[in-house]
Amino acid sequence: MEAKKELRKKIRKELSALNMPQYEHLSYQIAQRLYQDEYWKRASTIAITMSKAPEVDTWQMIRKAWEQGKKIVVPKCEPKSRALDFRELTQFSQLESVYYGLFEPIVSETIKVKPEEIDLVIVPGLAFSKTGYRLGFGGGYYDRFLANYQGNTLSLAFESQLVPGIPTEAHDIPVRKIISNIEVIKVGG
């Protein structure tokens, strides 16, 4: 879809303009809001991606979750089936760099966790509307996973990633909350 392609380009350009101190400060503000949110507080198992700048920094959130005794599971993409497998991460050394410099769990060193064991899925994206729809990175992995997921979902976003509207398709599934550096947007649930 051309509209999605253009929006991806625009948001990537805006995000690339963030310098490191801004990026860290805004990520910290988002993290502080997240730790106060009831979804985070109630969750004992949290699914989260390993961020890669300029996405909101999730590494600090993973450290905080470990400090709080929470179980962290991170996605392993299965390109053939375009499915996500979530695997428990207990230390950063269980990660390996895969395509595009992304980090994923090493299968031989991690345990697969069933979707129904996950209390909260922090869903990544490039842009978000206040109705909970997101523009992903184009693989469709999360939409496929969320189609059968019953737990809580939220996304983390810099203010510049919040847009008036996102071109949606029938299979798109909105998240229940968006936490940005300026506000918490409750969508439903």
- Please give the pLDDT value at position 188: 64
Name the pTM for this structure.
0.94
* Interatomic CA distance for residues 12 and 143, integer angstroms: 21
- Percent of the chain, pLDDT > 90? 78
Structure tokens at 26: 């805004």
Q: Check: CB of residue 110 under 8 Å from CB of residue 87.
A: yes
Q: Is the pLDDT of residue 59 over 70?
A: yes
Q: Is the pLDDT of residue 180 over 90?
A: yes
Structure tokens at 84: 């996500």
Range 119-135 average pLDDT: 95
- Please give the pLDDT value at position 131: 94
Q: Check: CB of residue 30 under 8 Å from CB of residue 48.
A: no
3-state secondary structure at position 28: helix
- Percent of the chain, pLDDT > 70? 99
Range 42-58 average pLDDT: 94
Terminal alpha carbon distance of the chain: 29
Average pLDDT, the chain: 93
* Interatomic CA distance for residues 160 and 130, integer angstroms: 13
* Interatomic CA distance for residues 168 and 94, integer angstroms: 36
- Please give the pLDDT value at position 137: 80
Range 99-124 average pLDDT: 94
